[in-house]
Amino acid sequence: RYISIFRPSVKREAEKNKAQWKTMGPAKVAVPSPKNFLQKHSKEPKLPARKKEQDSKKLPALSVPRRTDHPVMGIQSKKNFINTNAVAAITGLPKKPQPIYVDRRQGDKYLLETSGLVPKYIKKKDYGVTPKYVTRRNEEIKRAQKEYEANILEHLKKKAMKQLSDEERRSILQGLKKNWEEVYREFQGLPVQIDTIPKKIYKEKLESQMKQLEHDIEVIEKHKVIYIANE
């Protein structure tokens, strides 16, 4: 069977510490004196003695009447409250009932004024008036637009346009027409049967050149005044 290797040391320690618990009679403790017996409320905390300065201080004035105060008696009035109330009831206007609305035939009643069904907002003095922040924003937008337009005009002035003279316009128009005639002459020289891809590409090229030249000629003939960038 298994036997622990610490068994002898454990036995030795148990025998060594066993003698500490042996006694010869009760322990020697000092006996209390019969004169120092426990008295009533002796263990309760004691409050400090009240100072005389606190007793001499006056209490602050109270806003409520004291218990010993009595109301003023004997005040009389010659007003006839019965006649006054009767006259007020006869001459007074009848109280108007508050307008209400009902959501259905057997539904609950609600005040009409707070329901939003009464058009009381359109009767305001400022109804339909543009708010100040909207007018301020519109003015800022207009001011920014004017500044942008001024910058654009200044930019265009730096890059001013030059007007073509009549002689330059006529010479450009004659050159365009001459180019169109040359391209048209080449187009007329094409064979009747176009059976190859290079011939087809060449024909499309001539047609696009003729269309571009016709467009340029039409634009120059239509506009008498032409401006070009002054480079």
Between 128 and 83, the higher pLDDT residue: 83
Which pLDDT band, with edges at 50, 70 and 90, does 139 fall under?
Answer: very high
State the DSSP H helix or E strand holding residue 161, giving kind and residue range, or none if neither. strand 161-163
Tokens of 35: 């004169």
pTM (2 d.p.): 0.33
Residue 110 pairs in a beta bridge with 101
Residue 153: half-sphere exposure toward Cβ, Cα within 13 Å:
6
The percent of the chain in helix, strand and coil, each rounded to the nearest 5, is 50, 5, 45
For residue 147, the model assigns a pLDDT of: 93
Q: Is the pLDDT of residue 230 over 80?
A: no
**Average pLDDT in the chain:** 83
Which pLDDT band, with edges at 50, 70 and 90, does 26 fall under?
Answer: low
- Measured between alpha carbons, how far is 78 from 85 in angstroms, rounded to an integer? 15
Residue 101 pairs in a beta bridge with 110
Q: Closest Cα partner for 199 from 190, 212, 208, 207?
A: 190
Which pLDDT band, with edges at 50, 70 and 90, does 138 fall under?
Answer: very high
Q: How many CB atoms lie within 10 A of CB 11?
A: 10
- The mean pLDDT of 130-141, rounded to a whole number, is 93
Which pLDDT band, with edges at 50, 70 and 90, does 223 fall under?
Answer: confident
Residue 61 CA from chain centroid, whole number? 52
Per-residue pLDDT of 201-212, as tens digits, reads 998 999 999 999
- Measured between alpha carbons, how far is 12 from 6 in angstroms, rounded to an integer? 10
- The mean pLDDT of 11-29, rounded to a whole number, is 70
Tokens of 43: 């263990």
Per-residue pLDDT of 73-115, as tens digits, reads 777 788 899 999 999 999 998 888 888 988 888 888 888 888 8
Per-residue pLDDT of 48-58, as tens digits, reads 887 766 555 66
* The 3-state secondary structure of the chain, one letter per residue: CCCCCCHHHHHHHHHHHHHHHCCCCCCCCCCCCCCCCCCCCCCCCCCCCCCHHHHHCCCCCCCCCCCCCCCCCCCCCCCCHHHHHHHHHHHCCCCCCCCEEECCCCCCEEECHHHCCCCCHHHCCCCCCCCHHHHHHHHHHHHHHHHHHHHHHHHHHHCCEEECCHHHHHHHHHHHHHHHHHHHHHHHCCCCCCCCHHHHHHHHHHHHHHHHHHHHHHHHHHCCCCEEECC
Tokens of 228: 């070009």
For residue 178, the model assigns a pLDDT of: 92
Between 189 and 156, the higher pLDDT residue: 189
